[in-house]
Chains A and B, each alone.
Chain A
């Protein structure tokens, strides 16, 4: 069973300067018990996608076509606000960059963790025991005492781990993690993604992991979706994306990461140009204005080209392997 199946999703925003096509024909699956990473730079539509899944689009945004099938049973696009609210939390939970968004500064951690379980029967003592168990699972030292402390008494890394504990407490089917390690130092970042991976296996949920940090994605995810200007430009397994990228944008993005440069160089690769104005999408390929392999066919709308098992790229050159020479 697929935890989340998004197909043909289009989101528009009405703005003062005309309608803005924020997500265009977004299509990908989050298989059960898997971690899917979404990579993309600012303006690629990551936040809009999360909000569309959660049913939390701003008032001027609307989903125009497409479906978001959750656990093969419910289409989140047509679900009412009340039903969505029942899903958010117990079935679909979230972790964000700033853990304080999830933590109430004036309540103890234990109290908050008991409160989350309001839907469950059972005594407060049972709920506290469960909260304590969850805190030790996220490696908070002395979990019992930690229950009686307030969020500000924990360090940034611990707060994020507590936020993760709270998100996973109800054993959701899907965890949406939006840049959860971006604000953390390298040593904590590594510890947090390792923890996330362990917990995902233990609870058996799926994770939609959004990050711009390619290293984290490579290490944590099973599958990767590359987004650019509101479109899925490439998707595939983590090895397909990192070892055999087929969309020129993916190729350039990987090159830009200084960590991929083995030899020391003072001149780092970049992608010249800017993301196009989404109010005036180009008729053809959205990456064409910045693409190093642009050619005559690029003024046509591109469709996702199937390359191999689960691997697809929105480029008419997708079937030709991208060689290093081509990017020089």
Chain B
């Protein structure tokens, strides 16, 4: 197995809170994972689970308060802006809003070649680069003169992909790459990313709340809840037999386009707790249908089961249903 390209070790991100003597809010509370070349790693979770914050921390847009981030053998979380500059050629990020992440007054041609202008364009033929990148992402060359507002969501997303791969990075972090796209276009963008991953040997971190997408594209998946990984593992294994009740609930919550499907849903009572007042013990116990006395007092540590890890005292067996719902499935 090849060496990981990205190693995130016990990373914490703290946001300051106004008021004297108050501790900050932990947006990310001790997360570790690694990504190997050519691998697709998915971060899954509901809004507020800290997945975007974690991605920004990896990309150096967000300072971390504890832990260590290593990329291609270098520690990057302590680097200065100038030191990060060469790293940015190797690691690029795609943002949620396909159109909104493109500068509105720049043409597609300028947008696509901007990475070269930032990182030294000496000796590069910008016209040729524009043509090369646009054809790589399947856009006609005459798009170079268009402005972002003249593009459809799918086309804008392709421009975003072209920008992300311009400098031949080793890692792409894609935050909700299919957000705001139509179903028929969503596939195009994921296929494009996958195709580029295969051809260029890219590693990818995909952040999404669309579990169906994750199932198809990710090699490994991490499920986040309140800034922690509550379950990590090979995608097929996690989806096939979730060990953590939250993963099971998330999977069962996905409405499926089949009117005859009988839903055996694990309903989660109450709302996601606020990061300002994390529950004691297991942070999921306030919503967990399986919660027992111990869960509300002691915080479970991470348990490794082969290649999988989870944080639960009472991991689920395949097909388990909550107490009182056993007959439903």
In the complex, A177 has a CB within 8 A of chain B: no
CA distance A254 to B258 in the complex (A): 10
Main SS class of interface, A: helix
Identity of the chain A residue whose Cβ is nearest the Cβ of B267 in the assembled complex: A191
Whether A218 contacts B256 in the complex (CB less than 8 A), given A186-B209, A253-B184, comes out as yes
Nearest chain B CB to A221 CB, angstrom units? 8
Q: Which of A156, A189, A254, A265 contacts B216 (CB 8 A)?
A: A265
**Interface, chain A (partner B; CB < 8 A):** 41-42, 155-158, 185-191, 193, 212-219, 238-239, 242-243, 252-254, 256-261, 264-271, 274
Bound-state CA distance A9–B255 (Å) is: 32
Q: Give the docked Cα–Cα distance between A257 and B181 (Å).
A: 12
A270 in complex: contacting residue of B187, B212, B254, CB < 8 Å: B187
User: Is there an interface contact between B46 and A186, defined as CB atoms closer than 8 Å?
Assistant: yes
Identify the interface centre among A185, A261, A265, A274: most chain B CB within 10 Å of its CB: A185
Q: Is the CB of A257 within 8 A of B257?
A: yes
What are 23 A-B contacts with C-beta separation under 8 Å?
A42-B152, A155-B272, A185-B209, A186-B209, A186-B250, A186-B254, A190-B254, A191-B267, A215-B255, A215-B256, A215-B257, A216-B255, A219-B255, A219-B256, A256-B187, A258-B215, A259-B257, A260-B257, A260-B258, A264-B236, A266-B194, A270-B184, A270-B191
A96 to B166, CA, bound (A): 39
* CB-based contact B259/A242 at 8 Å: yes
Q: How far is the CB of A89 from chain B (nearest CB, A)?
A: 29
The answer to whether B257 and A256 touch across the interface, beta carbons within 8 angstroms, is: no
Which B residue's beta carbon lies closest to that of A219? Answer: B255
12 further interface pairs, Cβ-Cβ under 8 Å (given A157-B271, A190-B265, A214-B183)? A41-B182, A191-B267, A215-B257, A218-B257, A218-B259, A219-B259, A219-B263, A239-B260, A252-B184, A260-B257, A264-B235, A265-B216
A268 close to B216 (CB less than 8 A): yes
A56 to B29, CA, bound (A): 48
Q: A216-B255, A218-B256, A242-B257 are in contact. Are A268 and B187 (CB under 8 A)?
A: yes
Complex interface: chain B residues within 8 A of A258 (CB): 186-187, 210, 212-213, 215-216
Q: Please count the residue pairs between chain A and chain B whose beta carbons lie under 8 angstroms apart in the complex.
A: 114
How long is the Cα–Cα vector from A188 to B212 in the complex, in angstroms? Answer: 17
Q: Report A144 CB to chain B, min CB distance, Å.
A: 19
Question: Given the complex of chains A and B, what is the CA–CA distance between A217 and B259 in angstroms?
Answer: 9
Q: Is the CB of B186 within 8 A of A256?
A: yes
Q: Give the shortest distance, in Å, between B274 (CB) and chain A (any CB).
A: 9
Given known contacts A243-B259, A256-B187, A158 and B254 CB-to-CB distance under 8 angstroms: no
B185 at the interface (CB under 8 A from A): yes
| A-B complex: 7 closest residue pairs judged by Cβ atoms | A215-B255, A268-B187, A214-B257, A41-B182, A271-B184, A185-B46, A270-B187
In the complex, which residues of chain A have a beta carbon less than 8 angstroms from the beta carbon of B10? none
CB of B226 to closest CB in A, whole Å: 13
